[in-house]
Amino acid sequence: MIIEAKPEPITVNCAETAVIVVDMQNDFCSKGGLFDRAGINLLAVQKAVGTTRKVLFAAREAGIKIVYLKMGFRADLSDIGETGSANRVRHLHLGVGQPCIASDGREGRFLIRDTWNTDVINELRPQPEDVVLYKHRFSGFYQTELDDILRSLRIINLIFTGCTTSVCVDSTIRDAMFRDYRCILLADCVAEPIGSELAPSNHEASVLTIQTVLGWVSDSERFESALQARRPLAAALDLSR
């Protein structure tokens, strides 16, 4: 199929494509989560939920693999980084590891694995056939099985959704590009609270960088249109066999 994108359209084979969902979890998207506790406005991230849901539905219908990445640390924080490291200092400052009460009354801990906090939000809940991976740095490739899994599936095209645009999404796209994956960002399926008041915003700056040197930028509507356009061709090929 051909996806209309910037800087130019890109042709992808669905069998060689995966949709990557970055960190769409309660701590970043839901009331009572880490972002909400820190006073970060959730509106931008929540706005991306509806478009991402449509993309996942369309991708599953087309047989495209879905991969979820979740930011989460071990309960003992042994993977948060060395004393004084930026990863450790910044995350502890935000309250990572501290206990909380989830919106449904369950006990939780901010950004700790296997808690409400690191569960994918209900609207985008993974299906049994999807891949779900934890990461403990911004990039989904750092000390994870992501690269091995994608290569075992013969995936070369990565469709990116999730949060946040200029941090975890951007970091994962950079590492993917360094590994020669072809990265397509769906700009209306990602969001960035940091610098949203700036002109240009951090989100816009990241989008520009991605479409200029790191990959391609499209949106949910163009992605869905590309999938719809391939259906008559696929049906014709089936009839000719």
Please give the positions annotated as active site: 23, 135, 168
Q: Does residue 189 contact residue 226 with C-beta atoms inside 8 Å?
A: no
What one-character-per-residue DSSP string does 73-128 give? B-TT-TTS-STT-HHHHHHHHHTTT-EEE-TTS-EEETTBTTSGGGSBPGGGPPPT
Q: What are phi and psi of 157, to 5 degrees?
A: -110, 130
For helices 220-239 and 43-61, what crossing angle results, to 10°? 0
> Measured between alpha carbons, how far is 88 from 168 in angstroms, rounded to an integer?
16
Task: Count other C-beta atoms under 10 Å from residue 89's C-beta.
Answer: 13
92 exposure class (CB count in 10 Å sphere: 0-12, 13-18, 19+): middle
Give the N- to C-terminal CA distance of the chain in Å, as an integer.
Answer: 20
Task: Count other C-beta atoms under 10 Å from residue 212's C-beta.
Answer: 11
